[in-house]
Amino acid sequence: MSPTPEHQHPVTVEERLFSLVLALIATQIGLTKSEILSTVQGYRQRFQIGGDNASLERQFERDKDDIRELGIPLETIESPDDPGSNHHLRYRIPKGLYDLPADITFSPDEIMLLKLAATVWREGSLSAESRRALTKLNSLGIDSTDPIVGYAPFLRARESSFEPLSKAMDRGQVVAFLYLKPGESAPRRRVVAPLAVVLHEGRWHLYGTDQDAAAPRTFLLSRIVGPVVARPGGGARRADDGQGERALAELDALWQAQTASIAVEAGSDAAVRLGKRGAPGVDADTVDLHYTDLNILADELAGYGPEVLVRSPAALREAVLTRLRQVRDSHTIPTEADR
C-alpha cells in the first residue's frame, strides 16, 4: 500500500507546536488531552482510538513545557464534576493575555517583513525569543505577501558552541569553555555569563561577563575549542535585547576605529573583492579597509599572496608576513645541511 500524503510529509516540531497553540487559542472552554491528541495536527496522525497512546501523551507533556518556555500562557481547567482528575482536565490559552495590545496593528506587508525577519533566525540564532515572535506573528491570522517570504535567507550557525550558548542564555546559566587566541600555543579556560550571541561582519560573537575579570568581554565562536559546559547553579541573569544591541555597538565602534591601507594589484581578484568592501585610498592602487579583528584580516590578506601589500598598520603587515613565511617554510624541502 502506498503511503498517504500525511506519511510522505512528516509534521515538523514547529508545525505541531503552532497547530497546538492555534487550537488552544480557538477554544473558550478548553480541550481535554484526548481531544487534543485525536484532532490537532501532529498528534492525530499517530493517535490510536482505543490503543496505546502513552508515547504520544509524553510528547504532549514535553510540548506543554516548550509552549510555556516560549512565554505563552497555558491554563488548565479542572472539571467541576470531577475535581482533581487529570482525565477531564482541560487546556486553553487565554486569548486576551496572548493578543497584541489593541492599539498595535500591522499591514499585510508589515507582517510579511516581520515574518521574514523571524524566519532568518530559524536556525536558533535568537533562541526562544525568535520562536516566540514567529509563533505570535503566525497566530495574528493576517495574510502576508507570500512571494517574498518564499525567498527568506537562512543564517546558519556552523560553530558547535552556538546552540549550548543560546540555551545557557535562555536559562540564565554561567558556562565554561576553552578559548584559543591567535599566537597562543594552548587554549585557556574561560568562565562566562553569556548575554548575547550576535552576527557581525559575517562572524558569530559571544558577548558576556567574564567571571574572572568581572567585566564584559567579546569572544569569537570560531575560537571556542571543545564543548561549552553549563555550570550548575551559576545564577547568571537572563539576557535581554539591550545586550545584543550593546555588543553590536561595541563591535561597530571597534570596526570604525581600525583602518588598514592595502595596495592591490590592478585587475586582480584582490582588487575586485577588497574594492567592493573598502574605500579608495590616497593612491590609485590603494584600498582603505575597516576591520574588527587583525588576525582574521591577516588570514584573508595572506590568501591573496602577491596581489596585496599591506601599507599600514605595521602590526597587520607583520601578521601577514608571518603567515606567508609559514606557508613558505611548510613547502620547503630540507637540504642535507638542514638535516
Q: What is the pLDDT of residue 20?
A: 85
Q: Is the pLDDT of residue 186 over 90?
A: yes
Q: What are the Cα distances from residue 274, in Å, to 133, 181, 262, 264, 330?
A: 37, 26, 9, 8, 27
> In the 8-state DSSP scheme, what is residue 223?
G
pLDDT in tens, 21-47: 878 887 778 888 988 998 888 888 888
Secondary structure of 305-319 as H, E, C letters: HHHEEEEECHHHHHH
Topology adopted by domain 162-246: SH3 type barrels. (2.30.30)
Give me the pLDDT at residue 122, please: 44
User: What's residue 142's pLDDT?
Assistant: 44
Name the percent of the chain lying above pLDDT 90.
Answer: 30
**Span of 132-136, 168-172, 308-312 with lowest mean pLDDT:** 132-136
At which residue does the C-alpha cell 500591522 appear?
106
Average pLDDT, the chain: 79
Residues 64, 43: Cα–Cα separation, whole Å: 13
CATH class name, domain 5-98:
mainly alpha
The residue among 82, 30, 41 whose CA lies nearest residue 63 is 41
pLDDT in the model for residue 282: 80
User: What distance lies between CA 284 and its chain's CA centroid?
Assistant: 41
Per-residue pLDDT, 124: 40
Q: For the chain, which residues make up each domain, given as ranges?
A: 5-98, 108-149, 162-246, 258-330
DSSP symbol at 11:
P
Binning pLDDT at 50, 70 and 90, where does residue 238 land?
low
More confident residue, 18 or 71: 18
Q: Over the stretch 70-116, which tens digit does the pLDDT of each residue have?
A: 778 888 888 777 666 667 789 988 866 655 556 666 676 666 665 55
Nearest Cα to 41, choosing from 69, 63, 66, 74? 63
Question: How far is 86 from 61, CA to CA, in rounded Å?
Answer: 12
The answer to whether domain 5-98 and domain 162-246 are alike in fold is no
What is the average per-residue pLDDT within 179-204?
90
pLDDT at 274: 92
Report DSSP letters for 42-86, one per residue: TTTTT--TTS--HHHHHHHHHHHHHHHHTT---EEE--TTSTT-S
Query: Model confidence at 166, in pLDDT bands (50, 70, 90)?
Result: confident
Cell 500500500, located at residue: 1
> Which residues in the chain belong to E strands, given as ranges?
31-32, 75-77, 90-92, 174-179, 188-200, 203-210, 215-220, 224-231, 259-264, 279-280, 286-290, 308-312
